Amino acid sequence: MSRPLALLVLAAIAVVSCTRLGSSSSNAQLADILAAGPTVTDVRSMLGDSNWWQGPPSFEVRPLNAETTLRTERFGIAQQFIHIGTAEGFLVQYTVYETTTAATTRMTDLQNELGTAQATSPKVGDQVMYYGEAGISGAPYLARTFVRLGEIVVEITWARKDGVASLTQLGKNATKIVDGLKKAIAAKTQHSLQVVDQKVLPPPGLDITFLGAAPLPIEAFLVMANYAIPGPLAKELHTNGIDTFVFGDYVLNADTHMEVRAALMTFASPADATSWLGSYSGGQPDQSGVVSSYVDAIGEYQYFFTSGVHGAMLVCRSTVPGEAASRACEQPLSRTVISWRQGLAG
């Protein structure tokens, strides 16, 4: 994703865009932290491969994970990248604390939990810890880097198939990411935000709480939907003029460690939207015009529908990797998706 599109991502933070750090902080906003994140171009350059794809961000804002979020946490953002053709992944997670002391305490807690860091250099930020771990997937070599910059803790997780990367490489990755963060929080002027039109996203109701929204490249939709071979699908969507989509992030009120993700595409005609539904949803619409399923392999509830020129998808998933979505998703999402479809119809 280019820098201009990265700035478009900021167009989005409707409710949460005004979130600010405490008086003892750098005065950064959620939009600044999002802007600081690496683009897909950055990741491809850092990791040396053009097959890295960006997924949608998670806006880690209360009440998401309210039962496990530390009181000293203000907000966070997690940005995922996947390596097509492998099980490799790259995750950058920013957590902003109320004070530098709280962030330092978090680093101490991590060391108590994970053991003494295997390395504390190359030095990056105010404090850094490097760990190597064994995983169980097709990318079983995990490198975890924790960097503290003031009241912000950045976690960088890189799952590789060929062995843990060198400390030199991990240091370069951390430096690139932290340099972007430094530039964002040192900016003298705040980013100018435009707000995604809430009318095109799931409407406010009793079942979900809005966290944030952003326009994203269409490749991030294919990562979000977990398509097995996304390359040809991306080419097809680009051919049909679908280069971006609107992404919305929510929390399920009935279970606050369930994240609800919405995607909306706008096609040239209703016929194109209908064709997309037939090709991409993997099922037949019910009497409400909605294709719904529980995808056991990834533990997600998925809903697809069209409304005029719009094609939409709604997902309910756990925030815990490898954990299946709870049955608490079913009724709330069924109600939400029907209301959303009706709202788009005007």
Q: Are strands 208-217 and 244-252 parallel, antiparallel or unpaired?
A: antiparallel
Amino acid at 135: G
CATH number at residue 125: 3.40.1000
- Whether residue 82 lies inside any domain: the answer is yes
Tell me how far apart the alpha carbons of residues 204 and 272 are, in angstroms, rounded to a whole number. 28
| pLDDT at residue 321 is higher than 80 | yes
Q: Which of 148, 166, 186 is the last residue of a domain?
A: 186
Q: Are strands 52-54 and 208-217 parallel, antiparallel or unpaired?
A: unpaired
Which residues, at least 6 apart from 291, have a Cβ–Cβ distance to it below 8 Å?
277, 281, 282, 283, 284, 285, 303, 304, 305
What residue has token string 């390395």?
Answer: 119
Return the structure tokens found at 308: 């005029």
Return the structure tokens found at 226: 């977990």
What is the pLDDT averaged over residues 98-106? 96
Which ranges constitute the DSSP H helices of the chain? 3-9, 30-36, 40-47, 100-114, 167-186, 218-224, 230-239, 270-280, 330-344
pTM beyond 0.85, yes or no: yes
Length of the chain: 346
| pLDDT at residue 201 is higher than 90 | yes
What interhelical angle do 167-186 and 40-47 show, nearest 10? 150
What is the pLDDT averaged over residues 294-313? 95
What is the pLDDT averaged over residues 34-57? 94
Judge if 202 and 110 occupy the same domain.
Answer: no
* Nearest-5° Cα angle at 32, 31 to 33: 90
* Predicted confidence band of residue 283 (pLDDT cuts 50, 70, 90): confident
Return the structure tokens found at 143: 């490198």
Judge if 74 and 182 occupy the same domain.
Answer: yes
- Whether residue 192 lies inside any domain: the answer is no
pLDDT tens digit string along 215-260?
Answer: 999 999 999 999 989 999 999 999 999 999 999 999 999 999 999 9
Residue 288, classed as helix, strand or coil, is coil
Q: Which of 158, 186, 214 is the last residue of a domain?
A: 186
- Whether residue 176 lies inside any domain: the answer is yes
Judge if 305 and 253 occupy the same domain.
Answer: yes
| pLDDT at residue 196 is higher than 90 | no
Judge if 182 and 314 occupy the same domain.
Answer: no
Contact 148, 104 (CB under 8 A): yes
User: Which residues, listed in sequence order, are joined to residue 305 by a DSSP beta bridge?
Assistant: 290, 312
Contact 132, 141 (CB under 8 A): yes
Q: How many domains does the chain have?
A: 2
* Predicted confidence band of residue 291 (pLDDT cuts 50, 70, 90): very high
Q: What local confidence, expressed as pLDDT, does residue 28 receive? A: 67
Judge if 203 and 182 occupy the same domain.
Answer: no
Judge if 202 and 321 occupy the same domain.
Answer: yes
